[in-house]
Structure 1
């Protein structure tokens, strides 16, 4: 490839990598070589269309800060594509895909040092692109790293789209190859397209200084903030919440004769800006002032005249900044939200063809690219928001040979950063919700999580905690709760809703049982109260629903078991309520001793588990309940297994846990029932946590509100708080992981 000159808009980008993790669930363990081959050959076809991918970014020396792309010269950098197989016995232990899937693929468990071929920052010469396929038990995590000086977010999305199409073509040649048009990679369209504006005095998203101006004043210099004081967390915001607020604001504007409107994204950014500002400015070292700014990246492709192709892969992300006075940011009133959102809308609309061409002209005239910087900061009162929401990555079809072809989640390798919000790509698992990753000082993050108004806006999902000097990076996640909701929907279900909503950092595995199974074969529950109840459970981002199926100690005909699995799966097509089920809870499972006497029982449960996991309409989760020690082989095909179901008098804490397979504690759960009010729930939970089990005890009266609160508080998820608080990491107990360290409840 020849050297490639980068445009003014490319040169404005930070010299960092956009690192994306695409996760796929695998049905078997024998696909590694074939998946590797398809990905490599697909990438080779992609590079033929986009040869810049095999280049490296280098410093030209023509002016300070200017870079371009040339063929790779640094053999020390990683190859274009590499594989790491964590399923090998001598490889680094990694949590299984099912464990990560059940917790919505938390970024706390996705370490960039293991999963990414490149760090976030790398000195020149730096590869334009590198990818790494990571195979873990039951899954594939594909990491793609894009140099931001060459691709913006939409451009990276286009590259992934074409790569997936190339992989699909290799498996289905009859479909014909789908390649990019030449305009997608032609940077000449922007190289000399600058034009000075006669009406624009400033570019709101940028500050331009001159060499003689002192740019080291206290106002422009970032405060010294140690990385160890940062916390990066993920929050979920329901579309229903955003739509309701948008209607409220637009109605407010209309009623007051305002000829303005706001979008859903304006509401999202306004809500984040308001909540973060309130949380930050109570911090002792916050930069107090009279105004605050939020910076945003606006996709300029459609805003130019003529518009650029949506497939153009270079940078056309244009910064804009919105500045407002502080008072609206401290008010929860609709009027204040409207003021903030309208200000954001005006800033977004200011990015037009004139703005972009004037920006290009200014950059091309600069003798030193360090003289132009964003006008917003990410400390003090300011923050930045970037959105990848509509990248469409989970809509891509990589072909059935790549783990079925569909991406489950898009994530970012674990990182800590301050004052930046990233709206993550839409996933098929949460089509009606928005996931936002944000980084703040730890004390500000804790204040944000505890803010009552913010809890009505967003729910906490997971976080990467801060480190203190000398500590390792072991993360103690919130434990899960396994709840047998075997009751008709009434006030008891309301108590469960309250408990789930009050503990957003805790994952709830809810087992429902309409009638010793799903009820009428092939049909949804006939009682509206039941469908309403299940639909309500499905509105909570931290809850997974399981359908109850009995197996009769492997004596029930598999055809009958399959029929009930099929019935639960059919609920996914029910309308108008969303009563889809995430997985199957198999009850009356054979014990370890039963299986020793009859080895065919292992195959029976392996077959029904695989049937449920692969069934369309379900989300692949499987749980077993032998109620005592179960066949250890079944841990390989289950998310978790209930190893103890008995009265509190039979529960002997650490002595009971000692009878469990110690290498499987992370997938073990317990149900302890008939406990008394004076039962030391917190003490029992502490023992289970300390052993790496994480299955708290606690209900002396089924689904009683106070009883459930005692349980959630013991787990550490009450009031939206808690990160597990375990004395030892589950990994230290030799477990497979802690996705399904399922907390038991007392019936």
Structure 2
């Protein structure tokens, strides 16, 4: 029998929600409970408790006609709940949890197919599409919980907030007293209103680059007609710290680079070079290269949004850099491996200088993100006749960090326990990487990245990447 979930009034998604393409993302959380049946019962009870506090998670994303492209969240309808229940349980006989180090060849095929996820990937383009669903995949040696979210409803931080709230509900799944929630529907509505009012109070700014703006200084990059492959790569945290210190000695002392900046810059450089190996001529010196990073606006807006806000509050930053430095070229594997002059701690001087240049550009754009920028960005969305977003195809590479989300610290109660592994094995997006959550303080950096096969091969052969990679 399907549970009865509380009703909520339909509402427009915020202007920040409309920055995101209408697509579902699925996150894989691995648990290793001693008693799977008890764990599943706890999960079901905990989820029902969560949905009493946050019924919007049961809703469906709907398109409306005026203005074009605006999306709303509508209450759940019985037909969709029957077809796609809030929690589906599926048993997979003779299937085992893959090793988290099996980056080159997955020992078990656990990926973005309909056997493991709660909602088919095509469903996001339908007139009504679920905002959030769970599927518990019961394997021989554990449970892989697949949490699927509609990206126009929440960002990565929002999902982390939902999972944190779910963990609290699972800890108290069988306690009858009302649970003090992590947040409330009223607080979420207040956050959406705050975002809308900030945009209405500002003026559109032509200096802010939006998704559909042109980039006249860029020439088209020759496409690499291959289906992307996705791999989980591991980078040494100590090596990133060493490289950060080397870069700091070359740049402006007033600009403090983070390991996040260094990681994004390093991957940007190596992907550019790998693309040049796979498709000679793509790194044309007459054009700029662009990286897309994302920054959380929750603490930047004035007044600030609460950290527990579950909607989209990230904004994309597109950072340009001219491809004039020699480190971008002579990109064949042999030429990179043979350029040994001027090594510093095993790195070429040109590599250090290039990473420093790119990391500084990324950091400067992050520093420039302030309340005025966000308000003008929101005003741009509100002024558009069509809110339908377009994906940032002009970017050569994109990286989003989930590293500080603390997922491995979440306790889902005695039956489920803590998460033993987290992943986003999404092979749909090329040249996009996620920094996965850190397992502990100063843990190696785990990146899930999708690239064309030849580009992936070139990345893995790059001496700079090999220097930081944990084998």
Write the distance in 2 (CA, Å) between the matches of 1:41 and 1:220. 54
Residues 389-413 of structure 1 show CA distances to partners (whole Å, capped at 9, x for unaligned) of 11211110100111xx110110124
Long gaps (5+) in structure 1: 88-92, 210-214, 460-503, 505-747
Matched, 1:348 2:366: yes
- Displacement of 1:106: 5.3
Write the distance in 1 (CA, Å) between the matches of 2:210 and 2:447. 22
- Displacement of 1:176: 5.7
Write the distance in 2 (CA, Å) between the matches of 1:260 and 1:108. 45
More relative contact order, 1 or 2 (CA 8 Å, 6+ apart): 2
Matched, 1:202 2:207: yes
Write the distance in 2 (CA, Å) between the matches of 1:440 and 1:103. 17
Match for residue 110 of structure 2?
110
- Aligned in 2, Cα 1:208/1:253: closer, same or farther, shift over 3 Å? closer
- Displacement of 1:183: 2.1
- Displacement of 1:366: 1.1
- Displacement of 1:33: 3.0
- Displacement of 1:451: 1.7
- Displacement of 1:111: 2.2
- Displacement of 1:137: 1.1
Residues 134-186 of structure 1 show CA distances to partners (whole Å, capped at 9, x for unaligned) of 11112111110011010011000000000110010125779964441442453
Write the distance in 1 (CA, Å) between the matches of 2:71 and 2:174. 38
- From 406, 426, 443, give the equivalent of 1:432: 443
Write the distance in 1 (CA, Å) between the matches of 2:39 and 2:75. 28
- From 318, 322, 326, give the equivalent of 1:325: 322
Kept after mapping to 1: 8 A contact 2:294/2:317: yes
Higher-Rg structure is 1
Matched, 1:192 2:197: yes
Match for residue 679 of structure 1?
none
Match for residue 342 of structure 2?
none
Matched, 1:84 2:90: yes
Match for residue 414 of structure 2?
400
Matched, 1:383 2:394: no
Kept after mapping to 1: 8 A contact 2:204/2:377: no
Matched, 1:417 2:435: no
- Aligned in 2, Cα 1:302/1:79: closer, same or farther, shift over 3 Å? same
- Aligned in 2, Cα 1:178/1:59: closer, same or farther, shift over 3 Å? closer
1:7 is paired with a residue whose SS is coil
2:321 is paired with a residue whose SS is strand
- From 58, 65, 72, give the equivalent of 1:68: 72
- Aligned in 2, Cα 1:36/1:222: closer, same or farther, shift over 3 Å? farther
1:309 is paired with a residue whose SS is coil
- Displacement of 1:7: 0.6
- From 137, 148, 168, give the equivalent of 1:165: 168
Which region of structure 1 is more displaced relative to structure 2, 61-70 or 306-315? Answer: 61-70
- Displacement of 1:197: 5.8
- Displacement of 1:386: 1.0
Write the distance in 1 (CA, Å) between the matches of 2:210 and 2:244. 25
Matched, 1:7 2:18: no
Matched, 1:357 2:356: no
- Aligned in 2, Cα 1:339/1:288: closer, same or farther, shift over 3 Å? closer
Aligned residue pairs total 433
Kept after mapping to 2: 8 A contact 1:239/1:433: yes
Match for residue 273 of structure 1?
268
Kept after mapping to 2: 8 A contact 1:205/1:320: no
Kept after mapping to 2: 8 A contact 1:56/1:69: yes
Kept after mapping to 1: 8 A contact 2:295/2:366: yes
- Aligned in 2, Cα 1:107/1:355: closer, same or farther, shift over 3 Å? farther
Alignment map for 1:624-663 (pairs within 5 Å): none
Alignment map for 1:447-466 (pairs within 5 Å): 447-459=458-470
- Displacement of 1:222: 8.4
TM-score by length of 1: 0.54
Match for residue 315 of structure 1?
312
Matched, 1:100 2:106: no
Alignment map for 1:462-611 (pairs within 5 Å): 504=471
Long gaps (5+) in structure 2: 1-7, 329-348
Kept after mapping to 2: 8 A contact 1:424/1:436: yes
Kept after mapping to 1: 8 A contact 2:49/2:173: no
- Displacement of 1:8: 0.6
Matched, 1:18 2:15: no
